[in-house]
Structure 1
Amino acid sequence: MHIGKAIRLERIFNRDTGRTIVVPMDHGMTVGPIEGIEDMREAVSRIVEGGANAVLEHKGNVRCGHRAKGRDIGLIVHLSASTCMSPRPNYKGLVASVEDAICLGADAVSVHLNLGDDNETDMLRDVGRVATECNRWGMPMLAMVYARGPKVGNEYDPKVVAHCARVGTELGADVVKVNYTGDPETFSKVTDACCVPVVIAGGPKMNSTREFLQMVHDSLTAGGAGLSVGRNVFQHAEVVRLVQALSKVVHEDLDVDDALALVEK
């Protein structure tokens, strides 16, 4: 691997465990300033206090979340976007470049690809081009790959998720983010078919903290490399405690009962 990529990946992954906790905060572009990320500096501070490995933001919000004090945290700049007001919200277009991310001091970039969308070909081309640029600059690329289109019956189907992960890998991603399939047995088939780390998305906001912690725990037992979860983290009633508990689960293999006790203490 390019030494630049290796060094940057160690800023968003725990180098001892090879796992990561990423908290995406790119939702403001898609749906507006929702609860939990109205004040970006405060939101990032809570995530840092909890001990996450990295945050993920659009380029314009990096200045809003930069604290200029306290513990450092990895930065992933998101390059693609759409809004919920678009007639084609699943079509993610590039709104930033790898060079933009370098200028912002990013440790990685991320791109979003929705397989099955009418504009899938354009998104595949964009992600492939970003991967080429990342190789040139030694910048890690995280690919968020989901199946969302008229031919997709169930985006959580294990075969569909495995296809998503494989597409991200074959396009050149250094980390792939996909949906969790629902159980360790099927998710292990997703991770086994990838030669790069696979992290899980959070999906819709969950009502149960135990359910969330269990999902993270089970994904790790199936070979997952951690999580990249937004709303289920930054909208939680106890953000700092939750991230602290997640850190114990991800990096110290703490069981779910003990992790839940940390959140509810």
Structure 2
Amino acid sequence: MPEADKEGRNYHIENKAKSELFYLKGSNELGWGMKNRLARVFNPKDGKTIMLAIDHGYFQGPTTGLERIDVDIMPLVPYADTLMLTRGILRTIVPPSVTKPIMIRASGGPSILKELSNEEIAMDIEDAIRLGVCGTAIQVFIGGEFESRSVVNMTKLVDAGLKYGIPTMAVTAVGREMARTPKYFRLATRICAELGAQVLKTYYTDEDFETVTASCPVPIVIAGGKKRPEIDALEMAYRAIDQGASGVDMGRNIFQSDSP
């Protein structure tokens, strides 16, 4: 028999139960599991993240700076908030004792020698669950030759993620001949958000970037893009966050630096 309840138990009647809004833009109606994963990626104190992107090998192979991830990249892991990488590198190189949240690359197909927009979903959501990731990342090629396929791929991943509480980050890819303008990025990010992506990765623009973040109803992190001088990369990151970005997801401007 359980012990009898004591008289005068404290129900804290004077303190009404709170229903707090989730701190990330556009995320309040998501399920608990998805919010919890997002809270591991984006610091609850400021809503920001520093992602280290090392997934380039899925279409570039051993590009400069990623020849030996075990030697050159693993020492950098403690300084990042989140890692973005492929499942192959996660399983073969990253020790399970690493507790950084993982955004897993979930799309692939063509190499840098072919039309990059011809991607497919390249992993099952069940494998993302087995790996304990905090989100999946998929390329979306608005304006590309295979635009529709990439958009539908994203929506399939979004649906699978909603089923299991795993966020989807849509990565807006830009073709070689396409202008990187605020107008294009407003279009690309808004389409992805409208179709369910919980996070966007896109490029910073020197002009009117605040219109990109303002018109996108979910958090945006910026890509580092091509290698540039360290001070320029830092200034770009500062301006992006000042204009509404929720963080950075950089690769080449870190691992190709003389002093990462």
Structure 1 match to 2:12: none
Measure, in 2, the Cα distance between the counterparts of 1:203 and 1:99.
Answer: 31
Structure 2 CA distance for partners of 1:68 and 1:127, relative to 1, 3 Å: closer
Determine whether 1:63 maps to 2:69: no
**Alpha-carbon RMSD:** 1.6
- Within-5 A mapping of 1:1-265: 1-49=30-78, 51-69=79-97, 72-81=99-108, 82-86=110-114, 88-148=115-175, 152=178, 154=179, 156-183=180-207, 186-206=208-228, 208-239=229-260
| Shift in Å, 1:43 | 4.0
* Cα deviations by residue, 1:34-87 (Å, 9 ceiling, x for unpaired): 2222222334422223x2111111111111232244x6211111111231122x
AA in 2 matched with 1:13: F
User: What do the CA deviations read for 1:205-252 (whole angstroms, capped 9, x no partner)?
Assistant: 11x11110000000011011011111111111221xxxxxxxxxxxxx
Distance 1:91 1:119 in 2: 6
Q: Which runs of 5+ in 1 are unaligned?
A: 240-265
The separation in 2 between residues aligned to 1:68 and 1:137, in whole angstroms, is 22
Q: Highest CA radius of gyration, 1 or 2?
A: 2
1:196 partner amino acid? V
Within 2, Cα distance between the matches of 1:157 and 1:9? 28
1:147–1:164 Cα contact (<8 Å) kept: no
CA offsets per residue over residues 128-182 of structure 1, 9 Å max, x none?
11111111110011110134276x3x1x211001111101211211110111111
Alignment length, in residue pairs? 230
Which residue of structure 2 lines up, in the alignment, with residue 260 of structure 1? Answer: none
Contact 2:117 2:147 in 1 (8 A): no
Q: Percent identity?
A: 28
Q: 1:8-52, CA deviations, whole angstroms, 9 ceiling, x for partnerless residues?
A: 111211111101111111111211112222222334422223x21
Secondary structure (helix, strand or coil) at the match of 2:173 reads strand
Of the structure 1 ranges 131-140 and 115-124, higher mean CA displacement relative to structure 2 is found in: 115-124
Q: Which residue of 2 aligns with 1:258?
A: none
**Cα separation, 2, equivalents of 1:53 and 1:93:** 28
Give 1:255's aligned residue. Answer: none
Distance (whole Å) between structure 1 residues aligned to residue 235 and residue 35 of structure 2: 30
Q: As a proportion of its length, which structure holds more helix?
A: 1
Cα gap change, 1:105/1:44 in structure 2, threshold over 3 Å: closer, same or farther? farther
Q: Which moved more, 1:59-68 or 1:214-223?
A: 59-68
Structure 2: give runs of 5+ residues left out of the alignment.
1-29
In the superposition, the TM-score normalised over structure 2's length comes to: 0.84
1:115 alignment partner, SS class: coil
